[in-house]
Amino acid sequence: MKNSLIISLLMLTSISMGWSQVGIGTTDPQEALHIAGSNGTIRVDGLNSANNSKNLGGSSMYNVMVDSDGELKLGNLSGEISSAPEFEAAVAVQSGTNSELNSSELYQKQFTLTQRALVVITYYVSMDFRNYDGTANVDDGRAKIAHNYFYLGNGTTPDTSKTYGMTSAVYSNSNCDTATGFVYNSRSTTITLEPGTYSVHLNGAVYGGGITPDAAFRVLFGDIDRLDISAIYF
């Protein structure tokens, strides 16, 4: 009985050692699983189009990702997360009473990433420059500046330590009260982000040339606007 037990243990040890490296198409495997030959590949039925909704079939190729446990899974498809007008109503931002710099949050948009991605955030927003109380067109000949930029947040609260997508427009008009139409700001920014919930907080800021009360003005942001958020998963 004792001899039989020893033989069994030796056989199990031998089998275990033989299974430590498996070769397909080779008698000298170099890794735990070694598939030899120029056409060697692996097929996992759980990742095919019949069994996995992330595999859309056809001739397209799909990224296989590995999670923290080492399990292979199909990655999420890259593409559009959100694309829509975001202003519920246009937002007026007045300069300081002596045309000093003033700013305000215009809107925020939440989005969620399920895996690490390059996120492309693109906005455009219309601006209507008027005098301080909004009753007349600008005709003082002084330069009026309107900035747009955004902060990233945790879904509700912006992180104001870093700004993204800053862009500006300068407007002036003199001896005339007939100029009409919108000026536009637009910018696209690409950011690498980890999985999680985020928010875009678009801000508008105004600043006047000539620090006097008669140079004060306001800008109406967002009669026409759009925010596009796309993810490139990797």
Domains annotated for the chain, with CATH where assigned, are 2-74 (no CATH), 79-233 (2.60.120)
What confidence tens digit (pLDDT) does each residue in 50-61 have?
Answer: 888 878 888 777
The rounded mean pLDDT for the chain is 86
What confidence tens digit (pLDDT) does each residue in 55-103 have?
Answer: 888 877 777 878 778 888 777 777 889 999 999 999 999 999 888 999 9
Q: Please answer whether residues 201 and 146 qualify as being in contact, where contact means their C-beta atoms are separated by less than 8 angstroms.
A: no
**Kind plus residue range of the DSSP H or E element containing 106:** strand 102-113
Q: Please answer whether residues 100 and 213 qualify as being in contact, where contact means their C-beta atoms are separated by less than 8 angstroms.
A: no
Tell me how far apart the alpha carbons of residues 27 and 36 are, in angstroms, rounded to a whole number: 10
Give residue 74's pLDDT: 78
Lowest mean pLDDT among 14-18, 36-40, 52-56: 14-18
Q: Please answer whether residues 99 and 214 qualify as being in contact, where contact means their C-beta atoms are separated by less than 8 angstroms.
A: no
For 163, what's the count of Cα atoms within 13 Å in the CB-facing half-sphere? 13
Pairing of strands 144-153, 72-74: unpaired
Question: Which pLDDT band holds residue 177 (cuts at 50, 70, 90)?
Answer: low
Q: Please answer whether residues 218 and 175 qualify as being in contact, where contact means their C-beta atoms are separated by less than 8 angstroms.
A: no
The answer on pLDDT for 9 being more than 50 is: no
